[in-house]
Structure 1
Amino acid sequence: MFICLFILLFTGVNTSGPNLPRAGGSKAGLGWGGGGEISQFEAGKAKVLYMVAYFMGPATPNLEFVPMLWGGKDASTFAKAVTPDSVAANGWTHILGMNEPQEESQSNMSPGDAANMWKTYLEPLRAKNPNLRLGSPAPSSRPNGIQWIHDFIGNCNVNGGCTVDFVALHYYGVNSTQFIQHINDYHNAFQRPIWVTEWACQDFNNGPQCSYNQIVEFLDETQTYMDNTDWVERYAWFGAMAKTPINKDTGLMDSSGKLLILGSRMLPASALASCLYAIYLIPCLYSDLAAGRKLPYTRRQNVSAPLKAGLGWGGGGNITQFEGHEVSWYFTWSPQSWVVPPPKQLEFVPQLWGNRDAELFSSVVNTTSIAANGWKNILGMNEPQIPDQANMSAQDGVQLWKTRLEPLKSSGVRLGSPATASGPVESCGCKSFLSLCAGTCTVDFVALHWYGNVASEFIDYLEDFHDTFQRPVWVTEYSCQNFVNGAQCSYEEIVDFLNATQTYMDQTPWVERYAWFGAMASLPNNVNNLTALMDPSGVINDLSTIHWQAQL
């Protein structure tokens, strides 16, 4: 890649144990583009390599700096910054050779020119540093890379050799098996340790790009292999930057430079403080939230579990842009999907909003349409205790349910309770509704809404609801939003709230589904626009990416 600045994060923490999320071992690294705070990757015994000599970056005591001679364009700068004395003074132990020399847009050097540059700028650094280790030029993943390194070593051996302690390489592709074969080919050819200084699930041959789920699978499979392969010394995913030049789903930071879920996978387990393993995540998550501590991004324990994240879609923008991401369902506060045909990868869940659309609901949702569309779940009334929403008494709600919803049970659908607005469980009307139903309403799961700005209070509310009604829970609206005239959440607070609440829900079996409010280009006037999952043009934004990535 054209980026000539990277960081490698090495974790050095044992994460062995049952059913744990993968975190990189002592080999794991990052390609850092200079955006965002690199110190957020410091944790435990982490080491980081900055691979450009003239950019030293911020002070990061736990992160090792490794210079790189990128190519001819920075040779003079490299020579001033990296000398035998500066290597010794800074304790640098590794230096990397040229970047993708067979690529015209990169260092673009013949093997002979690269050998001469090596002898001029790199080999002399050993004079006062006999233990310094030098890495080969890093070829791109083109098939000619191995031959280029062979020719480079051949030129090195003319009139004095080059001591290449390890071979560096890059790889971009979409198949983990091909990646494994690629690095094996290099090791078999040169019988030296391997550093993979760039790799990602990325197609540069005009093919389809990896979905986020495919990226995670690719990352897991390739990391697992490298962590268990002795001759792979280190590796660095591309890339830890606020704006990646490739498929944005491969990025480890959001556009503000904040660590994303994919980035957190590279952190050592010690970064979770007392929450060392995922199996212990829920108890310590709750205690940390209650204590007002921020949490790192984590992924849920079981990748194969059903996806919970959904969308409350207001009709703006294109809902199909969410297909292929870690979102499994959507609803529209109505019986209509608003898309014909509906998205194939997103389950549509009809809703009986209230009395105002009861006739429309019954004309759209019936035993015939349920069978034809494969609908599996239906939602009850929307905030019945709020005057400008469904606005109905528990008695009226029971009557509407028995008339419009209960007959649909013969089709095998699951029915969700009326979704009450956030407030004390005792006063939400749910108890009265179920009591008046007297066993004649089949409520398969309870739906609820919650708005506030304290994650621990949200978790308390969910647990109170579940303890009271002993049914699965769907959170069909929630957000970091203050409706009591207090200060609204900042973007950073929204991200922290979203991360903490999603982590809890993903790890809690009785929370079946949730939908952040809202998937809209323009939110209602009284809602903080920073909480939207689309930009004003209706395109997925960074917060939306966080919303689906927390599923992994």
Structure 2
Amino acid sequence: MRTTPTLAVAAAVAAPLALAQDSSSSKRGLCYVSTSNSNTDDAIWDGSNSDLTWYYNYASTPTSGIDGTKLQYVPMQWGAPSSNTDMTFYNNVKSLIEGGTKINYVLAFNEPDGCANGGSCVDAQTAAETWIREIEPLKTQYGVRLGAPAVTGAPTGFTWLQNFFTACAGNCSADFIPVHWYGNFQGLASHVGQVNATYPNMTMWVTEYALAEGSLDDSQQFYNQSASWFDRLDYVTHYSYFGAFRSDVSNVGPNAAMLTQKGQLTDIGAWYLGQEETGNKPKGGAAQVAKFAGWAAVVVGSMMWMLT
């Protein structure tokens, strides 16, 4: 039986904060972000002591460093092509499938309601037309399960998604709803509950989440409480923490990162892979990683949403 949104949120907020978590979960995947250290760090994510089972990389072709590993690849149509006849995404995924790559799911449109800091800035009508042309055929022809557009956690996300499904006119058969969140756990629980109440007939993937710019203690508590909660929620089938990079190139704060500035697993990184804590402390820097989500706008928008 699915947990009702109200009860799920109340139980999550009331739950005690875990101090450490080293259990594994088949729901966990890798939100892969390419950085200057990726070639060195790639082996961490698919090693024998990593329990991750899937990954996505904001693209329609696999990442060479972890291609062909135990991690199942999930392609993403990040934005909309400039031409309304472009079939690049469909053709790339079709080639993967017909070449023997197991593609069970695809994701679509990274934060289309955002036009900065990683948002793909796609209007709902264009997204619907692109979906019908390039994404829907993957389901009808190959049985691929489709993720709805991954909007921001701000109120604009709900509005954009409603406009998208209206523009689709029944021709976009999404199977699950991706969710993004960059704030505290209470806000996360409230937002997940809102999404579940709005789309009760679809399962959910939390494809980006972290406590942005939190202290080390707060970041660890947020990770442990949220991961434990996701593992208990039957309608959350997949989740991918946003922190698979070194702390000195993190634009959500160094304490959210899964790796230290030297490429060692932080406690959060070790827990996420199903290992015991390392005690390695992350240090920050001013660098920015390319194509991150618009977390700053999300945090501000989410706070306004909670106050309304």
What TM-score, normalized to structure 1? 0.43
1:370 paired residue number? 97
- Correspondences of 1:40-189 after superposition (within 5 Å): none
2:167 paired residue number? 436
Q: Distance in 2 between matches of 1:400 and 1:474?
A: 22
**Which of 388, 395, 406 pairs up with 2:125?**
395
**Which of 509, 520, 525 pairs up with 2:245?**
520
Contact 2:113–2:156, Cα closer than 8 Å, also in 1: no
Contact 2:29–2:53, Cα closer than 8 Å, also in 1: yes
Q: Distance in 1 between matches of 2:20 and 2:41?
A: 28
Task: Write the deviation string for residues 109-163 of structure 1: whole angstroms up to 9, x where unpaired.
Answer: xxxxxxxxxxxxxxxxxxxxxxxxxxxxxxxxxxxxxxxxxxxxxxxxxxxxxxx
Q: Which amino acid aligns with 2:97?
A: I
RMSD: 2.8
Contact 2:113–2:157, Cα closer than 8 Å, also in 1: no
2:114 paired residue number? 386
1:348 paired residue number? 73
- The sequence identity of aligned pairs, in percent, is 25
Is 1:326 matched up with 2:57?
no
Task: Write the deviation string for residues 364-396 of structure 1: whole angstroms up to 9, x where unpaired.
Answer: 211x42242011110000000011221011111
Contact 2:248–2:261, Cα closer than 8 Å, also in 1: no
Q: 1:298 to 1:491 in 2, by over 3 A?
A: closer
* Structure 1 residue 341, shift from structure 2 partner: 6.6
Task: Write the deviation string for residues 14-73 of structure 1: whole angstroms up to 9, x where unpaired.
Answer: xxxxxxxxxxxxxxxxxxxxxxxxxxxxxxxxxxxxxxxxxxxxxxxxxxxxxxxxxxxx
| Unaligned ranges ≥5, structure 1 | 1-280, 482-487
Instruction: Tell me the number of residue pairs that the alignment of Structure 1 and Structure 2 aligns.
Output: 256
Contact 1:299–1:503, Cα closer than 8 Å, also in 2: no
Structure 2 counterpart SS, 1:330: strand
**Which of 28, 32, 39 pairs up with 1:313?**
32
What TM-score, normalized to structure 2? 0.74
Q: 1:425 to 1:502 in 2, by over 3 A?
A: farther
- Correspondences of 1:420-435 after superposition (within 5 Å): 420-424=151-155, 427-435=158-166
* Structure 1 residue 533, shift from structure 2 partner: 1.4
Q: Distance in 2 between matches of 1:512 and 1:545?
A: 21
Q: Distance in 1 between matches of 2:87 and 2:248?
A: 27
1:468 paired residue number? 198
| Unaligned ranges ≥5, structure 2 | 1-6, 276-308
Q: Distance in 2 between matches of 1:374 and 1:444?
A: 18
* Structure 1 residue 296, shift from structure 2 partner: 4.7
Contact 1:337–1:350, Cα closer than 8 Å, also in 2: yes
* Bigger relative CO (Cα 8 Å, ≥ 6 apart): 2
* Structure 1 residue 285, shift from structure 2 partner: 4.3
Q: Distance in 2 between matches of 1:376 and 1:287?
A: 33
Task: Write the deviation string for residues 244-301 of structure 1: whole angstroms up to 9, x where unpaired.
Answer: xxxxxxxxxxxxxxxxxxxxxxxxxxxxxxxxxxxxx968742425xxx63455688x
Is 1:449 matched up with 2:180?
yes
